Structure 1
Amino acid sequence: MKAVLAGTVIAEADEGDLVRIEGNWYFPPASVTPGVLVESPTPYTCPWKGVCQYYSVQAGGSLHTDLAWSYPDPYPSAFERVGTDFSGYVAFAPGVEVGP
């Protein structure tokens, strides 16, 4: 699976290594292209996953605001709900093409 924005591959991993949560593919941290994510100050806390870290994405010569997010330290109950540890995995917003 690949995540592509503005013609730039920003993450790539085997589908079996990804985690699917609420319709979004979460990529393992090591599968994200180094240097494309820039931490954003946008705050959000999911009631069942925990505190979210948003990222802007550097691709195609532009910085695309808040198109990625991660849960660095999800609530322990979220692991039970999802069925696996997804700490630090990165998901992408609409506008980023995610597919084979």
Structure 2
Amino acid sequence: MKAIWNNTVIAESDDTLIVENNHYFPAESIKKEYFKCSDTHTSCPWKGTASYYTLEVDGKQNPDAAWYYPEVSELAKGIKGRVAFWKDVTVEK
């Protein structure tokens, strides 16, 4: 699977995990040069507290377009160490 934004592959892996219709990519599969830490955090009742990345490709930014859970609940342990996308990021084969 590939995550694409601004005509650029920002993550690629054969090992994604689908949770709530989102592909969670292993953290080592993201192209870190396109990811900037964000101060945004949200809470999910069953997964825990999410942290976000802002994507930056060719001078364009997509704020908080990727998220991950630094610490996960027991129910969501499968997504620990994984990153998911939204906000116009396309995930395809």
TM-score range, shorter chain: over 0.9
Residue 37 of structure 1 and its aligned partner are, at CA, apart by 1.2
What TM-score do you get using the length of structure 1 for normalisation? 0.86
1:5 and 2:12 are equivalent in the alignment:
no
* SS, match of residue 73 in structure 1: coil
User: What runs of 5+ residues in structure 2 fail to find an aligned partner?
Assistant: none
Counterpart of 1:87? Answer: 80
Moved over 4 A (4+): none
CA separation in 2, counterparts of 1:44 and 1:34?
Answer: 22
Name the structure with the higher strand share.
2
Structure 1 residues 20-99: aligned runs within 5 Å: 20-79=18-77, 85-99=78-92
Unaligned 5+ segments in structure 1 are 80-84
| In 2: Cα distance, 1:26 partner to 1:48 partner | 16
Tell me by how many angstroms 1:64 deviates: 1.0
Q: Deviations over 1:42-80 (max 9, x none)?
A: 12011100010111001132121011000111111223x
SS at match of 1:74: coil
Percent of paired sites with the same residue: 41
CA positional deviation for 1:39:
1.2
Paired residues of 1:68 and 1:91 also in contact (CA < 8 A): yes
Q: TM-score with structure 2 length normalisation?
A: 0.93
